[in-house]
């Protein structure tokens, strides 16, 4: 059913010749970003190799196509057929990596993807298509570690832990969150105050302008995790750091569905073990031998509460953790709503509330609503009801792999232990909510 596809062709540069119908052109011009944050503006202390630039270009093309293809027009109002054509430096290597890329995209977005590659028109600084020649100059400022920094509890906890416990030079890669840039900078300031040498912050953009000048046509952003990871991998490859940390507690990394009706990418899978497995396989196929960068989740074995404890023990007070951004649907982004940063009823908010209570015995984050409020619309109470039903039943390894498979190197038993500890935290929070309403 080729006519069911939406066709997107990523242009080598915004002024390139437009593709014929039915292809829709996409380029860096679709990103609403300041010139200093464009991909061609060097912000690392060395040039990135060509394969890492290609990875970021593919991720930007995927994210732009994702935002410009509305799900509401599909038969199930979710699953789309997307065909994407992207210029890369070494098309043969990308074609070899294509099975892993398609599995990666299917996992994170829940869509059917068809991706093709053509030779990138832009000339490199030298003739080496993979960027294997040395363009790296070691210095006392280049990074020893690279990690994503979103401004959420998990990324703040990891940055605080590494900053307070090591003397390594930490490079944090951040992506601007609409209406939350000030908070992200302020949280970075708390991390910077923990010790010297100060960590560095590299900030990128994720705002896409859709067809006809609209900001975007699709509200879901399931592919943004790939965009984030690709930006961090490019920075790590430029400064010869072999590992990128993407901190996410094991509960939300697995992001188990609370009911059979919520499967696949309806729950975000950006740091799921299956996602990271295929991302690392893509990198292994496209990178020059010996220059690979591996993406890992250092908090995969921690619950949300245990992440909060790690941040607390690293020197961050409760008030700083309460200033983080966790909500999946922040009221501040909705027209006519208050300036609150957390709705209080979405799944990330529920996990956050149980984690802060576990670590501090209280959580004074201002939430727009409590999930147990009988006056809430039914739609806003459904996760609270589903959560309590889920906590009342057993959870097994079969449940763990029912929604998505696990890579061969994963240890299901260890993941199950994390989820069970997280379930205990959630039960404690549910019991606390009942007691607080009785007082």
pLDDT digits (tens, 9 = 90+) for 280-300: 999 999 999 989 999 999 999
pLDDT at res. 135: 52
257 against 311, higher pLDDT: 311
Q: CA-to-CA distance for 161 and 321, rounded, in angstroms?
A: 13
What is the model's pTM?
A: 0.92
Neighbouring residues of 427: CB distance < 8 A, sequence distance ≥ 6? 391
The burial of 305, by beta-carbon neighbours within 10 Å (0-12 exposed, 13-18 middle, 19 or more buried), is given as buried
If you average pLDDT over residues 351-375, what whole number do you get? 95
pLDDT at res. 2: 45
Average pLDDT for the chain: 88
pLDDT at res. 132: 44
pLDDT at res. 125: 44
pLDDT at 201 over 70: yes
pLDDT tens for 85-130 read 999 999 999 999 999 999 999 999 999 999 999 999 765 444 444 4
205 pLDDT band, cuts 50/70/90, is confident
pLDDT tens for 391-433 read 999 999 998 988 789 999 999 999 999 999 999 999 999 999 9
Q: Which stretch of DSSP H or E encloses residue 311?
A: helix 304-313
3-state secondary structure of 159: helix
pLDDT at 175 over 70: yes
Q: CA-to-CA distance for 366 and 378, rounded, in angstroms?
A: 22
pLDDT at res. 437: 77
pLDDT tens for 341-361 read 899 999 999 999 999 999 999
pLDDT at 37 over 90: no
pLDDT at res. 337: 54
pLDDT at res. 32: 82
Nearest Cα to 149, choosing from 245, 65, 234?
245
């Amino acid at each position: 059913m080729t006519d069911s596809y939406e066709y997107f062709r990523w242009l080598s540069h915004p002024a390139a010749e437009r593709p014929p119908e039915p292809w829709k052109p996409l380029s860096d011009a679709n990103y609403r970003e300041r010139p200093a944050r464009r991909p061609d503006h060097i912000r690392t202390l060395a040039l990135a190799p060509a394969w890492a630039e290609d990875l970021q270009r593919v991720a930007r093309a995927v994210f732009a196509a994702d935002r410009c293809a509305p799900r509401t027009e599909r038969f199930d109002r979710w699953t789309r057929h997307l065909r994407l054509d992207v210029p890369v430096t070494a098309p043969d290597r990308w074609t070899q990596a294509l099975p892993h890329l398609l599995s990666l995209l299917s996992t994170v977005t829940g869509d059917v993807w068809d991706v093709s590659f053509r030779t990138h028109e832009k000339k490199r600084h030298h003739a080496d298509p993979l960027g294997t020649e040395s363009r790296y100059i070691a210095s006392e400022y280049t990074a020893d570690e690279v990690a994503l920094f979103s401004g959420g509890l998990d990324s703040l906890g990891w940055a605080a832990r590494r900053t307070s416990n090591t003397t390594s030079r930490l490079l944090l890669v951040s992506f601007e969150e609409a209406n939350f840039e000030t908070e992200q900078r302020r949280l970075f300031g708390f991390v910077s105050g923990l010790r010297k040498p100060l960590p560095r912050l590299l900030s990128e953009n994720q705002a896409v302008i859709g067809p006809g000048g609209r900001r975007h046509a699709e509200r879901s952003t399931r592919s943004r995790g790939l965009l984030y990871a690709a930006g961090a991998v490019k920075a790590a490859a430029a400064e010869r750091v072999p590992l990128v940390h993407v901190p996410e507690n094991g509960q939300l990394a697995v992001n188990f569905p609370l009911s059979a009706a919520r499967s696949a990418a309806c729950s975000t899978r950006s740091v799921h073990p299956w996602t990271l497995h295929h991302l690392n396989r893509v990198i292994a196929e496209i990178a020059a031998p010996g220059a690979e960068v591996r993406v890992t989740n250092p908090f995969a074995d921690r619950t949300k509460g245990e992440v909060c404890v790690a941040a607390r023990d690293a020197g961050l007070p409760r008030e700083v953790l309460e200033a983080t951004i966790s909500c999946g649907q922040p009221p501040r982004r909705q027209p006519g709503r208050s300036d609150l940063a957390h709705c209080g009823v979405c799944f990330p908010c529920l996990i956050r509330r149980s984690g802060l209570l576990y670590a501090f015995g209280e959580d004074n984050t201002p939430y727009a609503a409590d999930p147990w409020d009988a006056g809430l619309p039914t739609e806003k109470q459904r996760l609270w009801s589903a959560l309590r039903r889920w906590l009342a039943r057993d959870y097994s390894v079969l449940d763990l792999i029912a929604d998505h498979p696990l890579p061969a190197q994963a240890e299901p038993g260890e993941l199950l232990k994390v989820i069970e500890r997280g379930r205990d935290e959630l039960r404690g929070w549910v019991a606390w909510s009942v007691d607080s309403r009785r007082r």
